[in-house]
Amino acid sequence: MILKDILAISGEPGLFKFIAQGKNAIIVEHLETKKRSSAYGSAKVSSLEDIAIFTDKEDMPLGKVFDLIHEKENGGPAIDSKADSGELKAWFEDIVPEYSKDKVYTSDIKKVAQWYNILHNLNLLIKEEPEPAADVEKAPVAEKKKKKSPPKPKLE
């Protein structure tokens, strides 16, 4: 999923869209209410693109997790984030079986489900297309033109 410019601000409900950089803050717009506000340097702002889920092997980017949820739910909404913690853990284990049970808390799973549902409801779940391999056709190499040297002066 393309998560560039979508932000989570600690202590603020919901998700935000980056609008502009100000002198001492960034200007953001709440995705659901469309209200604009400032997030100052003291606020902990995280781009969803930079968030990853701990797994037993290597960290999995949140965009990849959203892709897996999208596949599992056949493009529909995810589990309700207010569901029972056992239900949430079982649901998340179906999606990311190798997630680290020691490092990923129920609150993290709730956030993933909540964020996914927000983005799903606003039709912002845009699948990242793999970059097409460019057909590498070798263009004919232009022959270098020989520079004509100036005529030699005739010595008589």
pLDDT at 4 (0 to 100) = 84
H helical segments located in 2-73: 62-72
> Which residue has better confidence, 113 or 151?
113
Q: How far apart are CA 69 and CA 145, in angstroms?
A: 59
User: What are the structure tokens assigned to 105, written together?
Assistant: 């808390």
Residue 47 has pLDDT above 80, yes or no: yes
Average pLDDT on 91-113 reads: 94
pLDDT grade for 128, boundaries at 50, 70 and 90: low
Mean pLDDT of 43-62: 93
Residue 143 has a CB neighbour count (10 Å cut-off) of: 6
- pTM reported for the whole predicted model: 0.77
Please, what are the domains in the chain? 6-121 (1.10.10.1650)
